[in-house]
Amino acid sequence: MSVTPNVVRSTELGAPASPPLPPFTVTEEAPGIVPAARIPLGIGIVCLVLIALGLRPAIVSIGPILPDMINDFALSHTQASLLTAIPTLLMGLLALPTPWLSRRFGRDRAIIAALFLLAVATAGRAVSESTTVLFIATAAVGVGIAIAGALAPGFVKESFPSRVAMLMGIYAMALSLGSTFAASATGILTDLFGSWRVPAGAWAIPAILGVIAWLHVERRGTKSLRLKTKISSAKLPVRNRTAWFVATFFALNNVMFYSYISWIAPVYVDLGHSASSAGVILACFTLAFMSANPLFGAISRNEDRRVYLGLGAAISLTGAIWIAVAPDGFPLVAISLAAFGTGGAFTLSMTLPLDNAQTDGEATSWNAFVMTVSYLVGATGPVLVGFLRDLTGSFDMPMWVLVAVSAAMLATTPLLRPYHHRQTAKDSLIQINFEQHGEPK
């Protein structure tokens, strides 16, 4: 197979500005290997949904059972926050080495191994008897989520390059659907079995279903995935300003999401609600978050998504202010506003790295960079909320901190124009000057 190298005109690493590259670029000969046909769209959607359903329950299910776990393990609120902060932190730390795992072992095999680890760790956490085992299992949960979550967008970019926004919307909706099931069912199962351990372990089942689904993807795509060692590997866009703006926006969005799913149920328990009632409020958050995912993915059809990103951030800010000012005033409405805005912004945030990439290799590099920054920052959210709760004795100050985070997210939206749009305009201006004056200006 012979491939002509692409000419890249760029002043920033990781952001080619030359004419659009094909979605799959090979940089050297790969004789004897013929790419397999693309997986059919319908099958791809089903498999993508099945793995997404298993990537959030192990985190979200902690909220409704957190008071029981605090009592059983004698944890402070700061320590308890690590049960969601550790997986989020690992989602950031492992985003950078994940592309290497994909090239070394194959993307689909890495996803399968990660989902299997997630299932085992989720079950192991449910039977843990010591704080040490609890946190080790929690870390393993984070490893599984981090690897599978980092590689799934690359599958979308490679297999369905013309349907990225739609499929990422479906993927985000499935993530939220898994969260909603976990939030709503965990409290009910806890009351039914009289223990937090059964519902905590039950969320290994969706991860197992994800393993089964991705085994099918791996079988269909083995030949094409052998090309991974020959695929052009783009550098991380660390010198690209747009990449930092995207990472900042996604980081703020993650702070909002993980802080709320970790602590919104305990907030309302503190306000006098029962555990079941608080679980319903958390489920309302995840349901509203989920409903925004396909809607924002469907209405945002241009790669410049700043208008809809701003809309989502503004709705999130409205809900955050409401929760901080009057948390018991129509809480389902306030929570729904915060969740709907955060969910819409989340969907488009996941699409932003792909909007700035021209190849599967670049998509993986942009996604790894953005996830590293955003999840490392996002992991501080639950910890900060727990620390401030221990420090002040209430959730008032933490809720106002989330208002500030939401405001910062809104302020970032004007900076999110895709890099290659900006670079294309610059190249056009240079060409016009050259044609008019005989030299670039």
How many other C-beta atoms can be found within 10 angstroms of the C-beta atom of residue 186? Answer: 28
Please compute the mean of the pLDDT values over residues 1-14 and round it to a whole number: 39
Q: What is the pLDDT of residue 177?
A: 87
CATH for 41-433, options being 3.30.70.100, 1.20.58.1610, 1.20.1250.20, 1.10.3720.10: 1.20.1250.20
Residue owning tokens 């609890």: 134
How far are the Cα atoms of 134, 195, 309, 392 from residue 72, in angstroms, in the given order? Answer: 11, 11, 41, 23
Query: Of 2-11, 177-186, 263-272, which gets the smallest average pLDDT?
Result: 2-11
Residue bearing the bigger pLDDT, 304 or 330: 330
Q: Is 231 helix (H, G, I), strand (E, B) or coil?
A: strand
Overall average pLDDT of the 121-148 stretch = 94
**What is the average pLDDT score of the chain?**
82
What is the structure's pLDDT at 17? 36
Q: Is the pLDDT of residue 13 over 60?
A: no
Q: With 60 as the cut, is the pLDDT of residue 435 above it?
A: no
11-25, 109-123, 286-300, 308-322: segment of lowest average pLDDT: 11-25
Q: What is the pLDDT of residue 38?
A: 65
| C-alpha to C-alpha distance for 377 and 315, rounded to whole angstroms | 22
Q: State both tokens at 282.
A: 């958390």
pTM recorded for the entire structure: 0.71
**Whose CA is closest to 13, among 419, 432, 396?**
419
Mean pLDDT is lowest, of 71-80, 229-238, 281-290, 308-317, for 229-238
Q: Which residue has the higher pLDDT, 38 or 262?
A: 262
Poorest-pLDDT segment among 42-51, 220-229, 277-286, 313-322: 220-229
User: Taking 60 as the threshold, does the pLDDT of residue 30 lie above it?
Assistant: no
81, 387 in Cβ contact below 8 A?
yes
**What is the average per-residue pLDDT within 72-86?**
90
When mean pLDDT is compared across 26-40, 229-243, 267-281, the lowest value belongs to 26-40
Q: What integer is the mean pLDDT of 220-244?
A: 65
Query: Cβ neighbours of residue 116 under 8 Å, at least 6 residues apart?
Result: 144, 207, 211
Mean pLDDT along residues 309-328: 96
pLDDT at 160 over 80: yes
**Inter-residue contact 409 to 253 (CB < 8 Å):** yes
Q: In degrees to the nearest 10, what's the CA dihedral of 339, 354, 241, 403?
A: 0
CB 216 within 8 A of CB 323: no
Kindly list the domain boundaries of the chain, sorted by start residue. Answer: 41-433
Separation between Cα atoms, residue 129 and residue 307, nearest integer Å: 49
CB atoms within 10 A of CB 250: 26
How far apart (Å, rounded) are the C-alpha atoms in residues 219 and 109?
A: 10
Structure tokens at 45: 């959607």
